[in-house]
Structure 1
Amino acid sequence: MTRANDTQTNFTAGELSPDLQGRADLRAYANGASRLRNVFLRPTGGVTRRDGLRHVDRLPGTARLIAFDFNSEQTYLLALGDGRMDVYLGDARVFSQFTPWDAWHLPGLSWTQMADTLLVVHPETAPRRITRAAHDSWTIRTWEYPHEGHRYYEPYLRFAHPLISLAASDVLGAVTLTASSPVFAPAHAGTRLLLRGAPVSITGYQSSTRVSATLHDEIVTGAASSDWVEQAFSPVHGYPRTVTFHKNRLVVGGSRDVPHHLWMSKVGDFFNFDTGEGLDDEAISFALMSDQLNAIRALFSARDLQVFTSGAEWTVSGAPLAPATVTATRETRIGTQGPTVVRPLNVDGATLFVGASGRDLREYLFTDLEQAYQSADLALLARHLIRDPVDMDYDPARRLVHVVLADGALATMTNYRAERVTAWTLHTTDGAFKAVAETGGQVYAVVERAGVHALERFDAALTLDAALDGTASSPRRTWSGLAHLNGRAARVLADGADAGTVMVADGAITLDAPASRVVVGLPFAHEIAPLPPVVSGGRGGGPGTLIRLIRATFRVRDTAALVVDTGAGPRPRPFTTLGPHPVLDQPPGPRDGDLSVRALGWQRDPRVPLWRVDQDAPLPCTVLSVTTEVKVTD
């Protein structure tokens, strides 16, 4: 028999796909794991039990979360729900207002911010601007375009066939417009167009070829002419799909009826889309033309304007960015997921976006070596974890990218490109994650539990979900203020010790023993399991080789509980050691150092991990490295 020692010094490859359990030749194999659940992976390599979720507020329904950073000291969180907007400053709700977006609009919302204004668009609803005046004063208005008289400087476009002409019954004032082919719909009433360059307001619908209108400027003749364009954004042809600011211009990407078109405002005049004479500072309008007509799904302002479509990734550049110099270049052909809008993120100069398959997270980055953009798949080694993302955001303090999945799980990637760290873990809760956002250094989530939606925040001081904490000047048994947990079996941490499970009734709990400090919430279990060991016996190992774990030594930090399964079921490892001055009535404090666990028995199935950390104890746990001593049959 052969003895072998192996030390896994870090977990910087994260959880690897089961498809890779035979690829011990990969560099990631030595630093990976077969299962990482409800843990955060530190960029330095350790694995720690994830933060608990603090209950912030009950929501009337599902919501999209938007971080609104007015400045570094004033950061807000906007929760857009079914016809409602709630504004949070810290954990306090400071403002609420009705909105035009129903629940079905929420997945398709896109937005961008400039100072105290947030622009929100949806292809089926007129675009809005949300403006902050004070903590408790916000307004929502439709976009207003500058105008001279009745000439509005908004985007215009020719939707009808170029050969379809329009004739006016007169050259000024109230007229009847007659089209040579059917082009009008009842929704045209109230919209605007330009006929021979003159502004026209449509006042009524008569038929698919006739409308009543007001011609505001006199034209030379009312004879049939093909020189006419319509409002680009209207109830007839839909509204913008996505927006951003780039090089002092407001950029609109696509609309419902022309999903591949780009509009850029005049420089410094964000709602003025007058193309004028094509001067450098005037508006720009063009379509992305290629072998495929792909809908624009997202825009991102970087060194160049990055345009993410359903089938390819483009850059729009120009020196300067002007009508005469603008250039659109297709860089890669990956495509972006839709129709749910998952906004791209900037992480260390790279743009992260969800691929069209819904099974990958791409890093869109200009490389000096190729002098071109590349779209590397960051989820290649953990493809089993990524299934149809619906939202994501980045926590720069911990270098964590949180991705909300359609099934209610939360996939998290630790990303540190300078050290080649790309590591995935998966989080679950008693319920389903619906949305996520980071603002002011805090990560918030919308969580649905038993049909009820709540706003919760990751909090390192808590080790339970939907949790609240409390203190009292003198120990007591009854604690209230837990209405959001009514009828639930809650876990309790009392004076730092695990007090077990207590039912919540009428928003309160009663403990078996009085306590001065409590944390009450829903439990979750975290799990760490290694990949199959890479060892060989005297005959070279391989199928049928028996292996026995002799000892596993865990190097831990700030750990108050460690529950390890070495084949006989999860068992807590003792932490208390009696010294000269034992304090027997206090819970064990966090411990640093090495903890060894001995094991018995042989195993033949390589799919069964030699050891596994599996614990729901609401106590801190961080594993830095694991050293295993095994015996292999010859």
Structure 2
Amino acid sequence: MSAVTTQTSFTSGEIDPRVYGRIDIQAFQQGAAKLVNLIVLPGGGVTRRPGTELLREISPTYRLLDVELPDSRVLIGIGANILWIWRADGFYQTLTSPWSAAQAANVRWARRRDTLLLCHPDVEPRQLFRNSTGAWELSSFPFSSAIGVAGTPLTHKPFMQFSDIEIALQPILTGDETQAIAAGVQVVVKASVPMFTAAHLNCRLKIKGRQLTINNVLDSARVTALTDEALIDGRATVDWGEEAFSAARGWPVAVAMHQNRLIIGGSRDAPDQIWMSRSGAYFDFDMGTGLDDEALAFRLTGERYHRIIGLLSNRHLQVFTAVGEWIISGDPITPANVEVNLQTTVGSLASAYVPPLSVDGATLFVSGSGSELREFLYTNTEDAYQAADLAILSRHLLSQPIDMAFDGGRRLLCIVRADGVLVTVTIDRNSNVAAWAQHVLAGSATAILATADGLFLVIRRAGRCFLQRFNDALSMDQTLIQTAAAPTVQWTGLDLLSGNNVTVTSNGRFIADTSLTSGTLTLSEAVTRIECGLRFSHVAEAMPIAGGNNGLALDTIYRTVAVTARSAATATVMLDAGNGLKQLKPESASAVQDNHMRAFGWRRPLDGPPWRIEQDSPEPFTLLAVTHEAKVNT
């Protein structure tokens, strides 16, 4: 009997082989066994991904960020003890940074206009900003302070107690302990249990609301401190706190801006604590008397220990922990009306920081297992948030993610894996599309960033590191673009590609394949523009024949009779219908065309794909639909 199937959509993306038994679901009919270097279009087809434009060589970079200025945008790369700033006009500046390579990949950040706030729990937080001369600087957080009665600066950093057991502190000065202790006096502070370390030197304490600065650590239970303001008395008390952020207790884990407050989530020794600054005073964490605009702090309390992984300002302030997802709400948030609620208990990836992203009103985050992409979304029917898994059909592609960005123009969620492979998910919530594909780049990706100016990647190749950008006009990777005022055959400035086999095109027209041994290239024809880059192959493979349909056995023997591939704006189709790759040339490279191939040979569904496309020609390629005609042995 004859079996004719037409696949008009690939919007289920590349399907996990572990789902091949589900021939009854729609995804089996709208997916592919393999999609490499192809992007699924929301309308159903697949298209060759853009090539990458090589912008400059950089130091090894593990996190890529940006800051939008009134007149431009700058990219910021964080590497091992280095931070660089790049602008499209060629501006480039480097700064020494405090983060190691491992720490750089786990830095969290928030943007406050043209200032970038950067945190890691083992390093004092920094802000990156432009000074009055236009140069960029990296400095510590400028926590607010006030001048006390004695003329001593009093910090508005947050204070807290870190121990779960009750500890009493007593400031000791010779004389009656019931008497006040003046400002500017050195006292011995004694703890009821050991709690001090050498790292407490220069840290501040607050006893009954009054501040002291530790100037010597005597032992684990005693320090000497200088009173920054007069103490109420010298009695032992449990009403005290120490600086929440210090070398002794660690530094902030995550930051966000929400409702005109700076939000800090977690620290090394207080991983489940939330601090909110005063409204409009981003570095003032003085809790005062609980007025509406004053700072507030609280713990995420639940049955499990909620170590904070990340924060995101969305419809509500969203807090992602290792074991659950919370929302913090209030209209606006004040000390009197703040509401804190646990919504779901999925948990976020802790081994590497993959930032949660807001996409079409939902928040996408990687689960703690690293193999689930969850959509954290408020639903009116449940009056609560839910977290559906978008990777359930393509779980084989989500492995050890290290970075993530959303390209709104292309509707692409881009995920960088630890092996350097880029995975994309075409997302269109209105059409219920979440289509996965994988992309093998000319090198290994280590970081990614999506901005209004394009999709930027950091690529490591042959021991070197490059900043690159997806360019829809290119069909090769690591491409250098050169122009000349008059046609020429001699081209220079190609040193970044030296030592590679390259392809040269001119405005997309093939010129030559050559081996580049230096930064100079001589062509056989004179042109005014060249694109010199590295080829990459795209691959599309069909799902196995669904032999179990229509009462047939899963391993039904079939013979492909013909395959027709409908393409658009495509010059060449390399199609394998069972007899190896054959070239098909559409009559028009600019129109929609049907490309037909006949084939022979009996086989079973799992012997190989019914059809396969693979080609590396640096040309546009779009596949809209495929018809497969077969004879089935019943």
Normalising by the smaller structure, the TM-score range is over 0.9
**Is 1:163 aligned with 2:166?**
yes
Are 1:493 and 2:505 matched, yes or no? Answer: yes
**Amino acid across the alignment from 1:87:** I
Aligned counterpart, 1:216: 228
- Which residue pairs with 1:565 in the alignment? 576
Q: Relative to structure 2, which stretch is displaced further, 96-105 or 296-305? A: 96-105
Amino acid of the structure 2 residue aligned with 1:38: N
Please tell me whether the aligned partners of residues 259 and 332 of structure 2 are also in contact (alpha carbons under 8 angstroms). Answer: no
Residue 20 of structure 1 deviates from its aligned partner by 1.5
- Is 1:442 the counterpart of 2:454? The answer is yes
Partner of 2:296: 284
Q: What is the identity, as a one-letter code, of the residue corresponding to 1:531?
A: M
Tell me which moved more, 394-403 or 432-441. 432-441
Q: Equivalent residues in 2 for 1:573-588 (5 A)?
A: 573-575=584-586
Partner AA of 2:170 in structure 1? A
Q: 5 Å matches for 1:207-286?
A: 207-286=219-298
Q: Please tell me whether the aligned partners of residues 553 and 628 of structure 1 are also in contact (alpha carbons under 8 angstroms).
A: yes
Match of 1:404?
416
Q: Which of these residues, 534, 541, 552, is aligned with residue 522 of structure 1?
A: 534
How far off is 1:136 after superposition? Answer: 4.9
> Which among 362, 387, 394 is matched to residue 382 of structure 1?
394
> 1:578-628: CA deviations, max 9, x gaps?
xxxxxxxxxx85453221122222222435111111111111111111112
1:121 equivalenced with 2:119 (yes/no):
yes
1:545: which partner in 2? 556
**Equivalent in the alignment of 2:82:** 84
Q: CA deviation at 1:233?
A: 0.4
Instruction: Mark the CA change 1:549 to 1:471 in structure 2 (over 3 Å): closer, same or farther.
Output: farther
Q: Which residue pairs with 1:626 in the alignment?
A: 626
8 A Cα contact 1:332 1:375, kept in partner: yes
For residues 470 and 151 of structure 1, the distance between their equivalents in structure 2, rounded to whole angstroms, comes to 58
C-alpha displacement of 1:239:
0.6
Residue number in structure 2 paired with 1:69: 68
Question: SS at 1:533's partner residue?
Answer: coil
In the TM superposition, what is the alpha-carbon distance from 1:300 to its structure 2 partner? 1.0
Q: Which is worse superposed, 79-88 or 11-20?
A: 79-88
| 2:10 paired residue number | 11
The equivalent residue for 1:301 is: 313
Classify the secondary structure of the residue corresponding to 1:251. Answer: strand
Equivalent pair of 1:199/1:216 in contact (CA under 8 Å): yes
Alpha-carbon offset, residue 470 of structure 1? 2.6
Please identify, of 384-393 and 95-104, the stretch whose mean Cα deviation from structure 2 is larger. Answer: 95-104
Q: Secondary structure of the equivalent of 1:501?
A: strand
Q: Shift of residue 15 of structure 1?
A: 0.7
Q: Deviations over 1:423-448 (max 9, x none)?
A: 00001123211110011240000111
Aligned partners of 1:473 and 1:573: how far apart in 2? 37
Find the partner of 1:153 among 145, 151, 156.
Answer: 156
Equivalent position to 1:532, from 540, 544, 554: 544
2:395 is paired with a residue whose SS is helix
Q: 1:605 to 1:534 in 2, by over 3 A?
A: closer
Unmatched segments (≥5 aa) in structure 2: 148-152, 174-180
8 Å Cα contact 1:364/1:374 also seen in 2:
yes
Deviations, residues 565-584 of structure 1 (Å, cap 9, x unaligned) = 12222222234x6xxxxxxx
Following the alignment from structure 1 to structure 2, what is the Cα–Cα distance between the partners of residues 225 and 261?
23
Kindly indicate whether the alpha-carbon contact (under 8 Å) linking 2:450 and 2:456 is maintained by their aligned counterparts in 1: yes
SS at match of 2:606: coil
Counterpart position of 2:515: 503
Instruction: Give the conservation status (yes or no) of the 8 Å contact 1:86–1:93.
Output: no
User: What letter corresponds to residue 69 of structure 2 in structure 1?
Assistant: F
Aligned counterpart, 1:103: 101
Q: Secondary structure of the equivalent of 1:380?
A: coil
How far apart are residue 40 of structure 1 and its match? 1.1
Q: Which amino acid is 1:564 matched to?
A: L
Q: Which amino acid aligns with 1:40?
A: I
CA contact (8 A) 1:51 1:458 kept: yes
- 8 Å CA contact retained: 2:498, 2:517: yes
The alignment covers a number of residue pairs equal to 620
Contact kept, 8 Å, 1:46 with 1:625, in 2: the verdict is yes
User: 1:169 deviation in Å?
Assistant: 3.1
Mean alpha-carbon deviation: is it higher for 175-184 or for 239-248?
Answer: 175-184
| Matched letter for residue 568 of structure 1 | N
**Unpaired segments of 5 or more residues in structure 1?**
578-587
Residues 154/595 of structure 1: CA separation in 2 closer, same or farther (3 Å cut): same
One-letter code aligned to 2:620: P
Q: Alignment partner of 1:30: what SS?
A: helix
Conserved in 2, the CA contact under 8 Å of 1:316 and 1:326?
yes
Counterpart in 2 of 1:187?
Answer: 199
- Verify the 8 A CA contact 1:95 1:136 in the aligned structure 2: no
Q: CA deviation at 1:134?
A: 8.1
Which deviates more, 272-281 or 215-224?
215-224
Query: Secondary structure at 1:564's aligned position in 2?
Result: strand
User: What letter matches 1:295 in structure 2?
Assistant: R
Deviates more, 1:263-272 or 1:218-227: 218-227
Moved more, 356-365 or 219-228: 219-228
Q: Which amino acid aligns with 1:484?
A: L
**Map 1:51-66 → 2, pairs under 5 A:** 51-66=50-65
Residues 572 and 480 of structure 1, relative CA distance in 2, 3 Å threshold: farther
Question: Once the two structures are superposed, what CA deviation does each residue of 1:125-166 show, in whole Å capped at 9, x if it has no partner?
Answer: 111111235895222221122222232111101124553322
Structure 1 stretch 158-167 or stretch 244-253: which is displaced more?
158-167
Q: Secondary structure at the match of 1:375?
A: strand
Shift of 1:196: 2.4
CA-atom RMSD in angstroms: 2.1
Contact 1:554 1:623 in 2 (8 A): yes
Assess if the C-alpha contact under 8 Å between 1:318 and 1:325 holds in 2.
yes
Which stretch shifts more, 240-249 or 206-215? 206-215
Q: Distance in 2 between matches of 1:193 and 1:589?
A: 74
Cα distance in 1 for residues equivalent to 2:388 and 2:16:
17
Distance change in 2, residues 1:277/1:604 (3 Å): same
Deviations 1:368-404 (A, max 9, x none): 1111110000111100000021100111111100001
Q: Which residue of 2 aligns with 1:140?
A: 138
Which of 401, 424, 430 is 2:436 aligned to?
424
Summarize deviations over 1:502-544 as a string: whole Å, max 9, x none: 211122334455555432112211001111123579x943144
CA separation of 1:591/1:469 partners in 2, compared to 1, >3 Å: closer, same or farther?
farther
Separation in structure 2 between the aligned mates of residue 495 and residue 88 of structure 1, nearest angstrom: 27
Question: What is the alpha-carbon distance in structure 2 between the residues aligned to residue 270 and residue 475 of structure 1?
Answer: 57
The 10-residue stretch of structure 1 (504-513 or 355-364) with the greater mean CA deviation from structure 2: 504-513
Q: Cα offset for 1:53?
A: 0.9
Q: Is the CA contact 2:23–2:546 (under 8 Å) kept in the aligned structure 1?
A: yes
Q: What SS does the aligned partner of 1:468 have? A: strand
In structure 2, the partner of 1:598 is 598
1:559 and 1:621 in contact (8 A); partners too: yes
Q: Distance in 2 between matches of 1:498 and 1:569?
A: 25
1:229-258 deviations in Å (ceiling 9; x for gaps) = 100000000011001111111111000111
Shift of the 536–312 alpha-carbon distance from structure 1 to 2, 3 Å rule, reads closer
**How far does residue 560 in structure 1 lie from its aligned partner after superposition?**
1.9
What CA distance in whole angstroms lies between the structure 1 residues aligned with 2:108 and 2:545?
46
Q: Which segment is superposed worse, 52-61 or 540-549?
A: 540-549
Q: Which amino acid letter does the alignment assign opposite residue 593 of structure 1?
A: Q
* Partner SS for 2:61: coil
Q: Distance in 1 between matches of 2:422 and 2:216?
A: 51
